[in-house]
Amino acid sequence: MTAPLKHYAIGDLIRYATDLFAAAGMPADRAAVVAELLVEADAMGHDTHGLNLAAKYLDHLTSGVMKAMGDVDVVSDRGATMVWDGDYLSGVWLTWKAIQTACDRAADYGTVTISIRRSHHIACLATFLPLATDRNLMITLASSDPSVAAVAPHGAFEAMFTPNPLAVGIPTTGDPILIDISASATTMGLSDRAKDGDGKLPGPWLVDNQGRASDDPAVLEADPPGALLPLGGLDRGHKGFALALMIEALTSGLPGFGRADGPTNWGAGVYVQITDPEAFGGLEDFTRQTGWLADRCRAAAVPHGADPVRMPGDGALARKRRAQEHGVVLYPTILDSLAPWAEQLGVSAAAAIE
């Protein structure tokens, strides 16, 4: 008989993660920001990029790979554009801070862009989007890790760049549209989970060293290794390749630091752009257009018996609302990975809801 799933209150998970990061040396206010956004990812259902990352973050905090203390170095500030050097501080906190700063400036400049170099890893992009859309602002967010290569250019099997996620938050008259995609056919986190689980991905999203599409993560450890395919796979991968190149330009080219510099720290280049619809055609007309299209898409004709169209973000917001009411169901290995840290740092673990 299958054991019932355990549910955890969002507030208790945030408290647990906050206590862990603070005990590892992160200032309490930053620890709370990081904890809340990681738990938000789990609540939305993005469980490879939520608390699943916390154990690695703690390892990097205690070893000094992620800086616990300090602030951003403002390399350039022209009002509507900024470049920050993050000095490998928490990427989640840096991205949160950049969004807050850009949102605050958007009323004056209409569009504000902040580019961050030498950030630590930034977790789940989708969780940042409501920080802007809740303020009736549009957000474009992208990241890459110049120290890692996992995805092959179209037509090759040698990895050259990361999955390079791109996220866009769009206010509407109802729920916001929350887009979070990557330039690759799958992610490194899902590939690792498949390797540790049943050994297969749901589709042929990898390329082996013979140039053949594969669903077997073992091709990533062959000699020579294969790679993740760009979005579009073997047939249409030129589209994902092009998208990846754009994101590389935004996240490495604009801040002036990237793969050409040979970085070794796990981290990110980050691009944040906030747009205030009031500076263009006005918020009312903006949301009238975006809301109209969202409503029509959800009502679009589908094959008999098929589910209605979902807009990007609909599923994540529905899962979050369920989690707020009933608690979060965590992937089975997540709390196990945090237990040694809780013991080492003297932090009480989150308790399942009775």
Two tokens, residue 253: 């080219």
The CATH number of the domain holding residue 352 is 1.10.1530.10
Determine the pLDDT at residue 120. 98
Q: Is residue 132 part of a domain?
A: yes
Determine the pLDDT at residue 2. 54
The CATH number of the domain holding residue 204 is 3.30.60
Structure-model confidence comparison of residues 187 and 275, the more confident one: 275
Question: Which positions ≥6 away from 24 have C-beta within 8 Å?
Answer: 58, 61, 62, 68, 341, 345
Q: Is residue 142 part of a domain?
A: yes
Q: Is residue 319 part of a domain?
A: no
Shared-domain flag, residues 266 and 213: no
Shared-domain flag, residues 56 and 21: yes
Shared-domain flag, residues 238 and 294: yes
Q: Is residue 321 part of a domain?
A: no
Res 226 pLDDT > 70 = yes
Q: What residue spans of the chain are helical by DSSP H? A: 10-23, 28-44, 54-63, 91-109, 130-133, 188-196, 233-248, 283-298, 314-326, 334-345
Shared-domain flag, residues 93 and 135: yes
Q: Is residue 34 part of a domain?
A: yes
Shared-domain flag, residues 253 and 155: yes
The CATH number of the domain holding residue 260 is 3.30.1370.60
Secondary structure of residue 270 in the 3-state scheme: strand
Average pLDDT over residues 296-306: 97
* Number of domains, the chain: 3
Average pLDDT over residues 54-82: 98
**Residues in the chain, total:** 354
Q: How far is CA 263 from the centre of its chain?
A: 21
Res 197 pLDDT > 70 = no
State which amino acid sits at residue 100.
Answer: Q
Determine the pLDDT at residue 194. 81
Asked if 181 contacts 124 with a C-beta cutoff of 8 angstroms, the reply is no
Shared-domain flag, residues 107 and 150: yes
Shared-domain flag, residues 199 and 240: no
Over residues 313-347, the pLDDT tens digits come to 999 999 999 999 999 999 989 999 999 999 999 99
Res 42 pLDDT > 60 = yes
Shared-domain flag, residues 122 and 158: yes
Determine the pLDDT at residue 151. 98
Over residues 69-113, the pLDDT tens digits come to 999 999 999 999 999 999 999 999 999 999 999 999 999 999 999
What is the DSSP-derived secondary structure letter of residue 222? S
Res 254 pLDDT > 70 = yes
Asked if 116 contacts 270 with a C-beta cutoff of 8 angstroms, the reply is yes
d(CA 126, CA 132): 11
Q: Which residues of 148-170 are buried (b: 16+ CB within 10 A; e: fewer)?
A: bebbbbbeebebbbbbbbbbbbb
> At 161, is the pLDDT very low, low, confident or very high (cuts 50, 70, 90)?
very high
Residue 154, CB-side half-sphere exposure with 13 Å CA sphere: 16
Shared-domain flag, residues 86 and 177: yes
Shared-domain flag, residues 292 and 147: yes
Query: pTM score, two decimals?
Result: 0.95
Hey, which residues does 228 pair with through a beta bridge?
151, 206
Determine the pLDDT at residue 189. 82
Two tokens, residue 103: 């949102």
Asked if 5 contacts 336 with a C-beta cutoff of 8 angstroms, the reply is no
Asked if 57 contacts 345 with a C-beta cutoff of 8 angstroms, the reply is no
Secondary structure of residue 191 in the 3-state scheme: helix
Shared-domain flag, residues 112 and 237: yes
State which amino acid sits at residue 22.
Answer: A
> At 26, is the pLDDT very low, low, confident or very high (cuts 50, 70, 90)?
very high
Determine the pLDDT at residue 198. 67
Out of 53-67, 83-97, 185-199, 274-288, pick the least confident: 185-199
Average pLDDT over residues 139-152: 98
**pLDDT-above-70 percentage for the chain:** 99
Determine the pLDDT at residue 72. 97
Q: Is residue 9 part of a domain?
A: yes
Determine the pLDDT at residue 3. 62
Res 126 pLDDT > 80 = yes
Which of 171, 196, 228 terminates a domain? The answer is 228
Over residues 228-253, the pLDDT tens digits come to 999 999 999 999 999 999 999 999 99
Average pLDDT over residues 24-45: 98
Shared-domain flag, residues 104 and 250: yes
Res 49 pLDDT > 70 = yes
Per the structure, the complete domain to which residue 250 belongs is given by 70-181+233-298
Q: Is residue 119 part of a domain?
A: yes
**pLDDT-above-90 percentage for the chain:** 94
Q: Is residue 121 part of a domain?
A: yes
Determine the pLDDT at residue 5. 83
